[in-house]
Chain A
Amino acid sequence: MSLLEVADLHVRYGAIVAVRGVSLRVEEGEAVGLIGVNGAGKSTTMSAIMGVVKPERGSVVFAGESLVGVPPEAVIRKGLAPVMEGRRIFPTLTVEENLKIGAATVKDKEQIAADIEKWSTFFPVLKERLGKPAGTLSGGQQQMLAVARAMMSRPTMVLMDEPSLGLSPKLVGEIFDLIRQLRELGMSILLVEQNVRMTLDVVDRVYLLSTGKVDFEGTPAELRARGDVERAYLHGTSSATKPAVQ
């Protein structure tokens, strides 16, 4: 059985159907990419998994338990931690407090202290700024904080929504390095991204979403071999996300 299994997921916002029948799975220890243009339904799929939006239809099963109807605060208790789009750190809280709130589900104070030490050592920029308000961090630093904060609950899987969005090319490289490192730590990852080229380098399998449906499913190599996708996403403009695939 897969760690995360999404089947026939439908989500609508009022009259707009954002996701129409998405099915995907993530195995234990696997990194899976969810790619597609803006509005393809990637973030909505992620929000539905986390319980932020209610699916109209379909199932989400994580570690053998259904997540449909489970409130957001309970999802993380099952071992699924989010790194949301736009980083969503708490700007008025200090870096250390951000990490502490990431461990809101952890009772053991010593474990929290040890994890703060561990992740601030992993990200030295955070260690230097533990007492500073997180809003004073740069975009890249905030992204690291968002990842470290997600790790504080000791999840078995992280959902990452557009972690490279709005970052400089150098920082984008660093974020993908970080994803690679998380994989090596044995973390299962579902990565929602627009940066297709970089995503294909770090994931085991990839789902291509188009207008709310899975358009393609397979390994990065298989995706690269498909001419139309190759042309639409990887060639032409330097921005790999512009053209739409119908």
Chain B
Amino acid sequence: MISDVAQYLVTSLSLGGLYALMALGLIIVYGILKLINFAYGELVMVAGYGLLIFGRSPWPWIIVAILSVICAVIAALLMERIAFRPVRHASPTTMLITSFAVSALLQNLALLTISPRPQVPRLPSIFIRNLTFRGIRIDVLDLSGLIVSILALIALTVFLRRTVIGLSLRAAADDFTMTRLMGVRANMVIAAAFAISGFMAGIVALFWIGNARSTTPTIGLEPVLIAFIASVVGGMSSLKGAVVGGYVLGFLTIGLQTWLPQEVNAYRNAVLFGIVIVVLLLRPDGIIRPAYSREAR
């Protein structure tokens, strides 16, 4: 019984942590540009193919992983520079459509140049092992996901609190025009937001693909959807909301998986989204509400 609870906690914290990172990557850009970047999932895909391609080298896996995360960051920066900067002053709808276009383009690029079929990248053998500690069995993949996601959250918090760029990002999420009037360069802030977005997608990819054990051109679909739902549930007005939403969704998913009777388990996503709808009916702004109502304009 205790081992069940412990296992549930570790798995939920691991999945929730990854969901939180996914949501953060989406919301850090949304907070500033008011753009839901639906091409965000393709950053996960880019990191996935990074694992595949660099994995063919003789380098240790950790180097392969770092290079893959860097690929996702570079892809995010290129995405901003090439696709979103030219339409920055257009309507939010234009930017949204642009994100769909970028998403489709990248997916098809992978389809053509790599393969439509699932590819199996090199993954560390430790990912399929598990540890037994006083009768509690814990998967290494879950435990490392838990630890890495918490480390990434701490790193982001420190970055946002302690650095000048972090301060500018937070100010820009409050009031972008005013931040520019303070002399903060718009291009720098937006590029920083996209870089963080790519970093989060890269970290998520390591564990997402570690779990799926293969990568496909459409591997990013589910992460971007989860990120979107998690941030809506948590509250889109703050990064805190993204984190809370991620963990709530993680705990719910694992909880339903564990405790739902066998015969309805196939419908657990229906139950999950049913709960999401109820949450939104009760709190339309999400769990974390905007801290301060903004003045007009």
Contacts and interface: CB of A to CB of B under 8 A. Distances in A.
A84 B296 CA distance: 13
A155 B173 CA distance: 25
B297 A86 contact: yes
A93 B171 contact: yes
B158 to A, nearest CB: 15
B174 A92 contact: yes
A97 B182 CA distance: 12
A183 B71 CA distance: 54
Interface in A97-146: 97, 100-102, 104-105, 133, 135
A72 B184 CA distance: 9
Given A71-B186, A91-B294, A101 B181 contact: no
B177 A73 contact: no
B85 to A, nearest CB: 13
Interface in B194-213: none
B149 interface: no
B180 interface: yes
B183 interface: yes
Interface string A65-92: 0000001111111000010111110111
Give the interface size bracket for A toward B: 20 to 34
B292 A135 contact: yes
A91 B297 CA distance: 14
Contact of A52 (B181, B186, B292): B181
B291 A92 contact: yes
Nearest to A90: B174
Nearest to A76: B183
Contacts, number: 77
B296 A86 contact: yes
A101 B181 CA distance: 10
Contacts of B292: 91-92, 133, 135
B295 A104 contact: no
Interface string B259-297: 000000000000000000000000000000001101111
Given A72-B181, A93-B170, A86 B295 contact: yes
Contacts of B81: none
A77 B168 CA distance: 16
Contacts of B294: 91
A93 B167 contact: yes
A27 B167 CA distance: 35
A24 B183 CA distance: 25
Nearest to A77: B183
Contacts of A76: 181-183
Contact of A97 (B167, B185, B296, B297): B167
Given A88-B175, A92-B238, A104 B296 contact: no
Interface string A219-244: 00000000000000000000000000
A177 to B, nearest CB: 24
Contact of B180 (A72, A97, A133, A135): A72
Interface string B100-135: 000000000000000000000000000000000000
B181 A82 contact: yes
B8 to A, nearest CB: 34
A30 to B, nearest CB: 22
A153 interface: yes
Interface string A197-228: 00000000000000000000000000000000
10 contacts: A52-B181, A72-B180, A73-B181, A85-B297, A90-B174, A90-B179, A91-B291, A93-B170, A101-B171, A105-B182
Across the A-B interface, give the 4 residue pairs with the lowest CB-CB distance, nearest first.
A135-B292, A105-B183, A91-B292, A90-B174
Given A90-B170, A97-B167, 9 more contacts: A72-B180, A75-B181, A82-B181, A86-B295, A91-B174, A92-B173, A92-B291, A101-B182, A135-B291
